[in-house]
Structure formats: structure tokens, C-alpha cells
Amino acid sequence: MGSLTLIAQPGGVSIDPPPGSTAVLQAKGAGVQIYSCAEVQGTFKWTLKAPDAKLFDESGKQIGTHFAGPTWRLADGSQVEGEVVTSRPAPEPNAVPWLLLRSKPGTTTGKLAGVAFTQRTETRGGAAPGTGCRSPGDLNQLLRVPYSAKYTFFAASQR
């Protein structure tokens, strides 16, 4: 993968994988974040249902998909499912947060079998709006918000 620049972390919140982790794949994700209008503690708000995106390599060739789980699946069937370890706000307004996710045990297969962490950075768009989900009549409506992001997949340190 070559050299990798660690992300500057405002407020001390790091989304970098543990020291010694090695980047094994980078992909651009482009698609939508799907939200559902739900009642949460007596108020109505958009809640994330799932991403629905395509994954592209640096030449622009589609290499896989990203969907609920969150799960990333390559065209050859390799996949990894993650769970959020930490997040920080994206620097761009109306963009979904930058994340560090840990691979869920037993969910990595094929070329992604060695992936221990997935990092989401460089997000554009995808954040739920503050409007359109305000009353019982809005419940269960779906909203698809376009977004893009960079995903970097890391193998754990071999120490």
C-alpha cells in the first residue's frame, strides 16, 4: 500500500488503527446513506438504516459493495463486517462522521480475512437533514442521502 499519513485528530479523538497496523486495501465508496423516520424518546428523527454504496479502486473500477452491517464485500465474495470503535465529526458540513471500525469476529473472508480495522475518512454528504421527520405521519418514511467516503482496510500488527 505504500506510506500512509495518519489523520490529525482534533480534541484528542483518534480514528487511527493501533500502532503497527498495515493498510491492505483502500477504496472509494459512493452511494447513499438510507435513513428511516423513527420516534426516539418521544421525538421524531432520522435514524440510519443502512449504507448502499459501490466500492471503487484508485483507477475507478468497481471492486465491491458496502451495505448494512456495516459490511464491505468485494466482487470475488471476500467480505468484512465492522462495529464502530470511535468516531469524530467530519470537517465538511453535512458529511457523515469519520470512523474507526473493528472487524466483528467470524465475519472476515477471502482477501479480507486478515482485516482487523476499517477506517472511514474523506466523507462528503450523507448526513441526515434536520427536516422532514417531525410527526407520526412521517414515521417509517425512508430517505436516501448521497455520500462518498474513503475506506482503508488494515491488518493488525504482527507483534
How does pLDDT run along the chain (159 residues), one tens digit per residue?
A: 433 444 444 445 799 999 999 999 999 999 999 999 999 999 999 999 999 999 999 999 999 999 999 999 999 999 999 999 999 999 999 999 999 999 999 999 999 999 999 999 999 999 999 888 999 999 999 999 999 999 999 998 876
pLDDT at position 12 is 52
**Does residue 27 belong to any structural domain of this protein?**
yes
Domain range spanning residue 147? 21-155
Rounded distance, CA 66 to CA 117, Å? 15
pLDDT at position 159 is 60
CB 103 within 8 A of CB 116: yes
CA proximity to 108, closest of 63, 64, 77, 152? 77
**Does residue 10 belong to any structural domain of this protein?**
no
Q: pTM to 2 decimals?
A: 0.89
Residue 12 has φ and ψ, to the nearest 5°, of 75, 5
**Does residue 62 belong to any structural domain of this protein?**
yes
**Does residue 114 belong to any structural domain of this protein?**
yes
CA proximity to 98, closest of 28, 31, 16, 20? 16
**Does residue 7 belong to any structural domain of this protein?**
no
Quote the number of domains for the chain.
1
**Does residue 104 belong to any structural domain of this protein?**
yes
pLDDT at position 75 is 97
**Does residue 47 belong to any structural domain of this protein?**
yes
**Does residue 5 belong to any structural domain of this protein?**
no
